[in-house]
Amino acid sequence: MENLISKKDLLEEANISYGQLYRWKRKNLIPENWFIRKSTFTGQETFFPKDDILLRIEKIKTLKDDLSLDELADMFSPSPTLTSLSAEELTNRNIVSQTALDMFNNFHGSNQSFSFTQVLTLYVLNSLLQTGDVNRAEGIDLLKLFHEQALTVKSAGSELFFIRKMGVSFFILTPEPANLFLEPQAKKIAHYKLSQCIEELKLKLS
Amino acid sequence: MERTQLKNISISGSGTSSGGEFNQVKVNGSAHIYGDVICEEFKCNGSAHLEGNITTDTAKINGSTHFEGDVEVKEITINGSSDIDGHLLCDELKVQGSSTIKGDVKGKEIIVRGSASVQGNVSSDEIDVKGQVKIKGDCAAESFEARGNFKIDGLLNAGTIDVELLRHCEAKEIGGENITVKKTRDASGFKKLIKFFMSNHTDQLTVEVIEGDNLYLEHTHAEVVRGNTIEIGPGCDIKRIEYKTSLEVNPDAKVGTQEKI
């Protein structure tokens, strides 16, 4: 189970007030399913997934001076904000590398404009290639997986794992929150939360 | 514009329509509409039953209506009674009669002067109640003002909450920035009359948890109250208070444990 933090501790650690927390909840900056209710000796208390909520609050605090709360809500919402993006824009704005773009075009045929899901695929592929976690052949496997599971990718809230054991590698795409237990020789090379990728991507696009 | 080509439809007496796209839809007697309606203006003085969804600029209901689908409207005034089985999406909702909505209500300005009951969630910039509201889900607003009776089964979440209690008000949880709960002071003739008939009801708010920045509470019964600056007025019964900056407690209030955090 994920690490949880109580509301009281969260307010202290993040240095925010109840009012702010409720306002952000109202504006859909904090997803409903992060509010986890549990019984304690003082009655019902609300808990949050610690890492997720602290990261989110940090982001809200740094961005709220530049963006309105509604713009922030758009950014955090899993639904795409844009419909399509051209290949030049993607490379010019340094969102994906030419290599990733070429691989994508080799696999899917030449494409000039990309839907949000395709941009997301490119973005994940690009960062996996950049970190050196996967090689080109494995990148193709990823494209295949994302292509076949397009609906899962679209309906945010999935996690992507890349696992290697004795040179054999494979991807796992699973709904969030994922609980994976690996045998000792298997190594988790990469782990992406697609909802977080979408946020990063939106931030870059905005 | 195509708008000029749209026809008006007026049902006086008893009639039926299959729905469609109109400029104005007017019902003076009793009407049954079988399909979806898109129009600029919807007016019902008698009774209307709509089986589909409706999208309109303005809707005025003086009689009684039953919408089986969703209602999407800029401005809707309900002077009679209205039942909506679907969701209501609007800019301005004014309920002067009574209204029951089975789905969610989403608006910018919601004014209730009669009684409204919502089985889903309510969200709006402003909610102003002088009458009675019942909400089965959560209620979110920037400003929530109530002079009357409310029952919210979920969370009441608003920037500013300003409540004058009438009879027994209830919410499961309340959260926000500035929260003020008071007992109605002016004893107008009307209120005295209500009191006379409902003598066994005292003005009171029952809630499990209240969390906010600045709180002023009267006649509130709560398990836990948490906030920065808290002032507890007369008639409160609170099991536990957690505060950050300051706490004042009226001698006529009953408070269990209090803790400064």
Q: Does B177 contact chain A (CB < 8 Å)? A: yes
Question: pLDDT tens digits for B34-86?
Answer: 999 999 999 999 899 999 999 999 999 998 999 999 999 999 999 989 999 99
The per-residue pLDDT for A85 is 76
Q: How far is A154 from chain B (nearest CA, A)?
A: 25
C-beta atoms of B211 and A18 within 8 A: yes
Chain A hits for B158, CB-CB cut-off 8 Å, are: 26
Q: What percent of chain B has pLDDT over 90?
A: 67
Name the residue with tokens 């999406």.
Answer: B89
Helix (H, G, I), strand (E, B) or coil at B88: strand
The per-residue pLDDT for A198 is 82
Helix (H, G, I), strand (E, B) or coil at A4: strand
Q: How far is A4 from chain B (nearest CA, A)?
A: 20
Interface of A with B (CB under 8 A): 7-8, 12, 17-19, 21-23, 25-26, 42-44
Beta bridge partners of B118: B101, B135
Angstrom CA distances, A92 to A86, A98, A104, A142, stand at 10, 10, 17, 24
C-beta atoms of A26 and B140 within 8 A: yes
Kindly report the CA angle at A143 between A138 and A149, in degrees rounded to 5? 125
d(CA A139, CA A189): 13
C-beta atoms of A43 and B227 within 8 A: no
Chain B hits for A9, CB-CB cut-off 8 Å, are: none
What angle do helix axes A7-14 and A50-63 make, rounded to 10 degrees? 40
Question: Residue B184 — very low, low, confident or very high, per pLDDT cuts 50/70/90?
Answer: confident
Question: pLDDT tens digits for B108-126?
Answer: 999 999 899 999 999 999 9
Total-model pTM = 0.74
The per-residue pLDDT for B88 is 93
Q: What share of chain B is helix, strand, coil (3-state, %, to 5)?
A: 5, 70, 25
Question: Residue B195 — very low, low, confident or very high, per pLDDT cuts 50/70/90?
Answer: low
Q: How far is B154 from chain A (nearest CA, A)?
A: 13
d(CA B227, CA B161): 14
Question: pLDDT tens digits for A133-190?
Answer: 888 888 888 888 888 887 777 776 788 899 988 888 888 988 877 788 888 888 888 8
- Picking from B9, B17, B18, the residue whose alpha carbon sits closest to that of residue B43 is B9
Could you please report the per-residue DSSP string of A81-104?
S-SEEEHHHHHHTTSS-HHHHHHH
The predicted model gives A52-61 an average pLDDT of 87
The predicted model gives A32-52 an average pLDDT of 81
Chain A hits for B140, CB-CB cut-off 8 Å, are: 26
For B208-242, the three-class secondary structure string (H helix, E strand, C coil) is EEEEEEEEEECCEEEEEEEEEEEEECCCCEEEEEE
Contact present, B207 and B170 (Cβ < 8 Å): yes
The predicted model gives B238-245 an average pLDDT of 91
Q: Between these two residues, B163 and A157, which has the higher pLDDT value?
A: B163
The predicted model gives A127-132 an average pLDDT of 86
Of the partner residues B157, B208, B228, the one whose CB lies closest to the CB of residue A17: B228
Q: How far is B180 from chain A (nearest CA, A)?
A: 14
Question: Residue B186 — very low, low, confident or very high, per pLDDT cuts 50/70/90?
Answer: low
C-beta atoms of B209 and A42 within 8 A: no
